[in-house]
Amino acid sequence: PQQSAPAPGAAPTAEQLEPVKAAVRALLHQPEYDDGSAGPVLVRLAWHSAGTYCKETNTGGSNGAGMRYEKEGGDPANAGLQHARAFLEPVKKQFPFVSYADLWTLAATVAVAEMGGPAVPWQGGRTDYVDDAKVPPRGRLPDGAQGADHLRFIFYRMGFNDQEIVALSGAHNLGRCHGDRSGFEGKWVNNPTRFSNQYFKLLLKFEKDWKKTTLANGLQQFVYVDEDLAGEEGEEKEEGLMMLPTDMSLISDPKFRAWVEKYAADQDLFFRDFAAVFAKLLELGLRRDAQGRVVNEENVEDGYRS
């Protein structure tokens, strides 16, 4: 008979994960939520779980799913991600053998693929053991109000280069900003539940038209409102889109810009590079044993008691 859960101390196999992926696929359609899909916020959950990594100190990263706890989950940068965790909770109940850390990262890869994006290589075996020595301090995630120097400071810390920063930023094809989460408002592209290279195209296409505006809360963002296109039939409506100051720095900084231009011109190249760099993000800080299980303080000391 088929084994439905992994052996103690082993990572789940691809076969064991198929029904988990199917359960994630089944919950993506959420007619009452945002733009009708849980996909974008699931992608953001995975990114924020992994994007705390620091290569110098080998702290942070997706292992441990620390965002379940106040210290990390209460970081204002993570506001709104409780929705993503709540979407996945029934899947965790149904498949208790999957760690939260695996489920959050796996769900993002399922969401990207279902929204028309590339297949992101993913390997399971993360554990939910929170190693206090590796809990990241708050403030490791990027601040949208800043610019290119800040992006390099944040992403070099994780071990990424300029090309990878731009490719990762292409995730802003998906989803939107919420005034009650980040304080910013609006979506980057017209169809925020379809993965594409539209974000890069729009950055360039409206280069001269993005208007800096100050929101009631004092935050500044860039908006594009095309009055001519609004309501015209047969025209793609591009009114009411937004960019963060960090997004705009991708076209003002010449090194970033070279990659924006490449990705705007070549969606296949963007998909290939995004798949590789998103996979790298989800692996940050993980060290695996021969069984694929992520090695950490707990299972090193306790001999893989599970």
- What is the spatial distance between Cα 44 and Cα 167, in angstroms, rounded to a whole number? 15
Residues 270 and 170: beta-carbon distance below 8 Å: yes
Active-site entry in 47, 104, 122, 188:
188
**# of chain residues touching ligand DDH (CB under 6 A):** 24
23: left (phi over 0), alpha (psi -120 to 50) or beta: alpha
Q: Across the strands, what pairs with 223? A: 211, 242
Q: Does 99 bind ligand DDH (CB under 6 A)?
A: no
Residue closer to ligand DDH, measured from CB, 129 or 274: 274
Residue closer to ligand DDH, measured from CB, 161 or 291: 161
Q: Is 104 a catalytic residue?
A: no
The residue type found at 10 is: A
Residues 85 and 141: beta-carbon distance below 8 Å: no
Show the binding pattern over residues 232-251: x = contacts ligand DDH (CB under 6 A), - = does not: ------------x-x-----
Q: Is 188 a catalytic residue?
A: yes
Range in contact with ligand DDH (rule: CB under 6 A) among 175-183, 233-241, 258-266, 295-303: 175-183
Candidates 64, 136, 144, 186: give the one binding ligand DDH (CB under 6 A).
144
Q: Does 255 bind ligand DDH (CB under 6 A)?
A: no
- What is the DSSP track for 124-137? --------GGGPPP
Name the nearest CA neighbour of 134 among 77, 61, 71: 61
Q: Does 110 bind ligand DDH (CB under 6 A)?
A: no
Name the nearest CA neighbour of 217 among 180, 177, 175: 180
Residues that bind ligand DDH (CB under 6 A): 40-41, 43-44, 47, 80, 142, 144, 151, 168-169, 171-172, 174-178, 181-182, 184, 244, 246, 278
